[in-house]
Amino acid sequence: MSPLRQKFIDEMKLRNFSIRTVSSYTGAVAALAGHYHRSPDKISEQEIKQYLLFLTEEKKLTYSTCNVAISAFKLFYNDILGQGKILLKIPLRKTTKRLPEVLSTKEVERIFQVEMNPKHRVLLMTTYAAGLRVSEVTRLKIKDIESQRNLIRVDQGKGKKDRYTVLSPRLLEELRSHYVRFRPQEFLFYGTDIKKTLSRSAAQRIYYKAKKKAGITRGGGIHCLRHCFATHMLEAGMDIRTLQIILGHASLSSTAMYLHITMKHLGKTQSPFDLLDISDFKNPT
């Protein structure tokens, strides 16, 4: 590893970046260097801009992916190299915000009912029942299941924050059966090695396979189960502030997105037209 790359990684560690962010940022700078076949400190600001155009216009990468590269370049060139060598002033690109597709409760049932490995079924059930991210469910440990309090502890979730989410009594029964059958040692959903977690990509493949068997073509990857949990909880009457805490959202606006999805909530919303006193109104002839 070059001293420059190590300096970049050390800087991100000092800033308490997640392992995933460190990997993404170093990968973005390495890809830039590979594109020009030169060390990144030999690449000009204009070349960086041309590379970003290449990513969007030729490789057709999404704005969110390009924003990761822009953030990585800003940190590397502004803070690591610095001292007037290159001072990037590239604004982040506006991303298109889309509402996630959410499955109905019947569709979620169909996914759980298809033929699959019992371990895989409980993995998907836990993801939905507790509203977990894929990185959270794959790292779930036996000690995180607090059955006496009907809670699941999410240890160091997104943003390196601990939180609690709900433990369904029905899910608890499934988890107990899972424990008796597969005897996990530490991680509830281990991979090929009982001492290591199941990979996120493996969890995604499990979900896609089950969804295909269920004949469901919409809704994206396994994160859809978290979207379903949030939407169905609002439809069941949970208040949005409690849901925010359970999901681990830093901002209430992130949770409010689900208000745009839940049709039951929309159906109960009264139009101001219904408040008008126009009972005696007659159309002019």
Are 109 and 167 a contacting pair, CB within 8 Å? no
Give the pair of three-digit tokens for residue 253: 């606006």
CATH H-level superfamily of 105-268: Intergrase catalytic core (1.10.443.10)
Told to judge if 133 belongs to the known catalytic residues of this protein, a careful annotator would answer: yes
Say which amino acid occupies 20.
R
**Which of 25, 77, 128, 258 is flagged as catalytic?**
258
**Beta-carbon count within 10 A of 32 CB:** 21
**pLDDT at residue 223 tops 90:** yes
Digit-coded pLDDT (tens) for 127-168: 999 999 999 999 999 999 999 999 999 988 777 788 999 999
* Percent of the chain clearing pLDDT 70 (strictly above): 87
Which are the contacts of 260, defined by CB distance < 8 A and separation ≥ 6? 99
Give the pair of three-digit tokens for residue 7: 């300096």
* Helices of type H across the chain: 3-14, 19-36, 45-53, 63-74, 105-113, 118-130, 134-138, 169-182, 200-213, 223-235, 240-247, 252-256, 263-268
**Which of 110, 158, 200, 213 is flagged as catalytic?**
158
H/E stretch holding 151: strand 151-154
Told to judge if 170 belongs to the known catalytic residues of this protein, a careful annotator would answer: no
Is the pLDDT higher at 262 or at 211? 211
**pLDDT at residue 202 tops 90:** yes
Told to judge if 226 belongs to the known catalytic residues of this protein, a careful annotator would answer: yes
**Which of 5, 213, 223, 265 is flagged as catalytic?**
223
Q: Which CATH number fits domain 3-81: 3.40.50.2030, 3.40.50.720, 3.30.479.10, 1.10.150.130?
A: 1.10.150.130
Give the pair of three-digit tokens for residue 83: 């001292």
**pLDDT at residue 227 tops 60:** yes
Domains of the chain, by residue range, sit at 3-81, 105-268
Please report the pLDDT score of residue 145 as a whole number.
95
Please report the pLDDT score of residue 93 as a whole number.
63
Digit-coded pLDDT (tens) for 235-277: 888 889 999 999 988 888 888 888 777 765 555 656 676 666 6
**Which of 120, 139, 211, 226 is flagged as catalytic?**
226
